[in-house]
Structure 1
Amino acid sequence: MLLQILIACGLRLKDARWLPLDCVSRDNDGAPYLLWINRKMQRQAFFPISEALADAIGEQQQRTRDRFPHGCPWLFPAHQANLDGSTPMSDTYWRAHSERWLTDLNLTDETSTPVRVTAHQFRHTLGTRLINANVPHHIVQQLLDHMSPEMTAVYAKIHNKTVRRHWESAVKINADAQPVTLDGDHPLADASWTRLSLVRAKVTLPNGYCGAPVQTDCEYANPCLDCRFFITTPDFLAQHRRHRADTQTAITDAEHAGLVRIAEKNRRTLSRLDAIITALDAPPVAGGRPQEAADAAS
């Protein structure tokens, strides 16, 4: 139960161990919140939780009440030397329990080395996931009850590094199915990544990214396979395949209706989509380029 709270709410281990028995509050709409004490800053804080977690906490509350019918202030009371329920779960007990759990799971990394997971890693994971989900920084700061925006900014830096690493390693092609490369060792690599981040945020496309300079105005609000700034990756293969199926249907309908020019226009789109899908389906290699392009460059 304590592990569920760590994962869902990102509490520090001490704050989770010292949760009060009555730690679930509800607002006027009936939405549940975890009431916890930030002992690092000695203040009360709240974290919105799911009904499922609220129910699970309710079951833990009942177990504690059954064990201590005369009252206990803690959601997780100590299991030993705690006859009156006045002592919360100890740090040593939790760590020993966690180690046994990891051993039973036989959790290992890609080299078959046992993985050690600390309670604080769940806090970092939650913070990073919130940033990845585009939750505003000030909201993340409030949810994790950080003392300053700088503490929350750590997760944004982790997110940026992760996105950049994924982008640099991914296969990237343009509308002509030609590789688009970003040399990480180039003196302008950081500046180039910043530019790409800005233009990616500038125009949201369902099947790729707009690589146009930030100052460039585009008369179209939708992706254009004839645009020299268009960039796409394997993340958008499903969209390209759907686009291809729709285009093939449009060609068939146009041919049946005798609309020769419309059919021909869609055939050009179909040809581009076939090239893009083929290039994105090619096995990736170092540098994020299709195999054929890497062979040609060698």
Structure 2
Amino acid sequence: MKPSDTLRAVLAQAGPDPLSGLVADLPAEWRGEILGPRIDGWITRIRPGAAMTIKLGRLPSSLRTELAWMAFWQYRDGGKVSTVEINQIAEALWWAEQAGYGRPPSLTALGEREFTKLYQASFVAHQGRLPAPSGTATLQRFLYGRPGWALAARLNTGAWWEMDVWSPRCDPGIPLRAREPRRSENWRPGNLRIPWLRQSVKWHLGTALESGQMTWGTIGGRLSALMWLDRWLAGQPSPHAIAGPAAEAHRLAATFRHWLSDPANRGREAGGKVEPRAINEPIRAVADLMSFLLDNLPDVPAQVGTSPWLALTEAHPPIWRRHMKRVREPASRVREEQYVDDHTLAQITAWLPVLAAPADELVSVSVNGIETAVPGHGDPQSMRILLLQILTGRRASEICLCDFDCLSPATPAAVKAAEGDAVARFHYAQSKIDKASDSIFVDAEVVAVIDEQRRWLQQRFPDASPTHLFLQLVTNAHGTKPFYRSTYGAALRKFSEVAQITDSQGRPFRLSHTHRFRHTKLTKLAELGLPVHVLMRYAGHSNPTMSMHYVARRDEHAEQAFLATRKFKADGTAVAFSREDHDGMQLFNRADRFLPHGYCLLPPLQNCDKGNACLTCSVFVTDSSHLDTLQRQLAETEALIQRHHDQFQARHGRPMPEDNVWLVQRAAERDALVKLLATMQETPERPCQGAGSPTSGPTPITIDITRHRRTQP
């Protein structure tokens, strides 16, 4: 196989490029013809079984420096160094020059198609056959993936936004906020096919990011919207007409809107519906682009080159905005389905140990009343992030990006108000609303989760000084990259397929929809009677209207609020409701929910699969009015355990083992009773839930954060 004449032209001999910047970046051990032996920790930074050294001796200095710099970037980035791929690329480049086809002036000047032809020709010359497609793809990922993006950004002498790929990981010149939730995302404005549109979009979005008008996350959405314009214009007979006379602008805008409304053009099935917002966003993006170009019209020729934009007038942006569809806001954005009920939370609690356990470990989980052994998912970080979201109501990005030192002592006034309960101030990674607060008070449960994560990080990254509480595990040898939100979402989607969690109505519950936990937390706080300004401060919102959007209007809470108010007869006399009246109406007059030692808060339409194991059930509550019954039950349980111990010893000649099936269940009931009674003695006026957790509202759930560390029976 022979390379084409086009490849011969691309690989024409060129003079050496100035590479002083790359050379200055390279430490002494990364310079030379052979890389590897002198580099600290080299063995741990290459893949098992890969080449031990990188051999660049036969290449000219310019290409040798570029390949060495790309390998150094991988090392500095915290990933594995691609020794095999770099050696293969070096061999192909050397062969091309020896075969008389020349060499590229720079790896950044060698297109992907040209490199593929070069590598295939080199492989045929050495092996007599074409290389496997997977091998070619691996080399392409190195040259035209992140290492190649990083090299192109380092050699770029213009503005960062002139690049075809924008990657904060590869280009430190991209301006980001200190807490940017989407810093792992890469945007590709180079995919725009029309040259003058591509250049104007780069200029527009780059300027918006530098000026603070947009953030890294919002320019991604805006770029996606302008991609629709590029796709539509590419199919038009005259794309330059977009800046034509006003009458033509009306027609084009209407045509574009009609094209956006067609599901077939949006990659959707026939008969589907395109939401008005999905139609309006591209039209708004076009109008904003035109407004930007009008404001900077004198600079358009220098920045964009030959383009139709010079014909724009002040009439064009309003004409396009006029074609946006009117969107009717719903009467209320509050949806009760955003509220995670206690039935669902109880299932999540039961499944959390599976998410954290190692993949080679089986965890016992109760599925439909049947104990099932499920292999672990080996993702304790996702488990703790999920716990913190449930316990604090923070956004996923606020937990993923929070600092390692995110706890500080609470004020003396807060400690006094907590009546002895452990509290601390939790500093989360607020990034959505600049004016909002970035800290809240948290209890001992949250502190325990954070402390456990810190200990885990110190064991996993013993030589690193992490700046974030949650760290990415791949390509992160230095422990500097936070846990990406996209990684967290993917882990929860995969876990949901295994857990098959449902709500109280039997509908599937997707754990990856983590914003529902924020709705739930704020709803529970609102139902406790927190003032609006306090709820707004906890939520991290800048106005109370947004906080109220998060509060679900539940019929159950409406009944509780009704009973909590004073009622009057027609003659003006007050009607008093006792605690028993309140409990009775709350339980919908279900006699089977009144237990000898408390109450069952299971929704009336559901059946109980716990048998008589109420003491370890998350929806069991009791109070001090049942103190005598509980004390008698504890004494009888302890006597029953001792009697069976004696019988087992007499029959078998050895003590009853601790993992005996019968003993495990009785011991759990005994421990729950001990905890319940101890809690009642400490706080006699407060009701208790499950195994002795004080309740602070109608039916709160206290998540057991130590269950995944206990040995399963």
Same fold at TM > 0.5: yes
In structure 2, the partner of 1:192 is none
Aligned runs of 1:141-152 on 2, under 5 Å?
141-152=536-547
Secondary structure of the 1:49 match is strand
Match of 1:74 in 2: 468
**SS of corresponding position for 1:127:** helix
Q: CA deviation at 1:34?
A: 1.2
Q: 2:486 aligns with which of 92, 98, 117?
A: 92
Q: CA deviation at 1:12?
A: 0.8
String of CA shifts for 1:225-258, please: whole Å, max 9, x gaps: xxxxx999733769xxxxxxxxxxxxxxxxxxxx
Q: Which residue does the alignment assign to 1:133?
A: 528
* Structure-2 change in CA distance of 1:151 and 1:162 (3 Å): farther
Question: 1:124 is matched with which residue?
Answer: 519
Three-state SS of the structure 2 residue aligned to 1:99 is helix
Instruction: Give the match for residue 4 of structure 1.
Output: 387
Following superposition, which runs of at least 4 residues in structure 1 exceed 4 angstroms of deviation?
Answer: 109-113, 160-164, 230-233
2:439 to 24, 46, 57: 46
Relative to structure 1, the CA distance from residue 231 to residue 70 in structure 2 (aligned partners, 3 Å threshold; closer, same or farther) is closer
- Taking only aligned residues, the RMSD between alpha carbons, in angstroms, comes to 3.5
In the alignment, does 2:430 pair up with 1:35? no
2:536 and 2:505 mapped to 1: Cα distance? 35
Offset from partner CA, 1:262-281 (integer Å, 9 cap, x none):
xxxxxxxxxxxxxxxxxxxx
Between the aligned partners of 2:460 and 2:490, the Cα distance in structure 1 is 22
Q: Distance in 1 between matches of 2:582 and 2:399?
A: 46
1:65 and 2:493 are equivalent in the alignment: no
The Cα offsets for residues 199-247 of structure 1, whole Å up to 9 and x where unpaired, read as x6640xxxxxx3647xx632x57359xxxxx999733769xxxxxxxxx
After TM superposition, the score normalised by the length of structure 2 is: 0.25
> 2: distance between equivalents of 1:97 and 1:232?
40
Q: What are the within-5 Å matches in structure 2 for residues 130-209 of structure 1?
A: 130-156=525-551, 158-159=552-553, 163=557, 202-203=565-566
CA distance in 2 between counterparts of 1:2 and 1:155 reads 21
Whether the aligned pair in 2 keeps the contact of 1:37 and 1:44 (CA below 8 Å) is no
Q: Which amino acid aligns with 1:153?
A: M
Cα deviations by residue, 1:20-67 (Å, 9 ceiling, x for unpaired): 001111124463121113100236522221213212211211222333
Where do residues 229-248 of structure 1 align in structure 2 (5 Å cutoff)?
A: 234-235=585-586
Q: One-letter code of the match for 1:136?
A: P
Separation (CA, whole Å) in 1 of partners of 2:575 and 2:503:
44
Of the three residues 493, 500, 518, the one matched with 1:106 is: 500
1:119-173 per-residue CA deviation (whole Å, 9 max, x = no partner) reads 11110110111112222222111111111010112245x3266645x69xxxxxx
| Counterpart contact for 2:408–2:426, Cα < 8 Å | yes
Is contact 1:25-1:33 (8 Å) kept?
A: yes
Relative distance call for 1:110 and 1:126 in structure 2 (3 A) is closer
How many percent of aligned residue pairs carry the same amino acid? 20
Paired amino acid for 2:456: R
Matched position secondary structure for 2:428: strand
Supply the distance in 1 between the matched residues of 2:569 and 2:523 (Cα, whole angstroms): 29
| Alpha-carbon spacing, 1:39–1:212, altered in 2? closer, same or farther (3 Å) | farther
Partners of 1:35 and 1:44 within 8 A in 2: no
| Higher alpha-carbon Rg | 2
- The gaps in structure 2 that reach 5 residues or longer are 1-383, 416-422, 592-713
Take 1:152 and 1:79, find their aligned partners in 2: how far apart are those partners? 35
Cα distance in 2, alignment partners of residues 124 and 103 from structure 1: 23
TM-score (norm 1): 0.56
When residues 221 and 107 of structure 1 are mapped into structure 2, their CA distance, relative to the original with a 3 A threshold, is: closer
Aligned AA for 2:450?
Answer: I
Distance 1:131-1:44 versus aligned 2 partners, 3 A rule? closer
Maintained 8 Å contact 1:2/1:17: yes
Determine the structure 2 residue equivalent to 1:222: 576
Task: Answer whether contact 2:437 2:537 (CA < 8 A) is retained.
Answer: no
1:279 aligns with: none
Shift of 1:75: 0.4
Is residue 424–residue 442 contact of structure 2 (8 Å, CA) maintained in 1?
yes
Any conservation in 1 of the 2:501–2:509 contact (CA below 8 Å)? Answer: yes
After superposition, the Cα gap between the structure-2 partners of 1:231 and 1:100, relative to the gap in structure 1 and judged at 3 Å, is closer
CA contact (8 A) 2:437 2:540 kept: no
Equivalent residue runs for 1:246-265 within 5 Å: none
CA pair 147-232 structure 1, distance change in 2 beyond 3 A? same
Structure 1's 86 and 101: CA in aligned 2 closer, same or farther, altered over 3 A? Answer: same
* Counterpart pick for 1:83 among 462, 477, 480: 477
Q: In 2, Cα distance between the equivalents of 1:231 and 1:71?
A: 54
Distance in structure 1 (CA, Å) of the matches to 2:444 and 2:582: 42
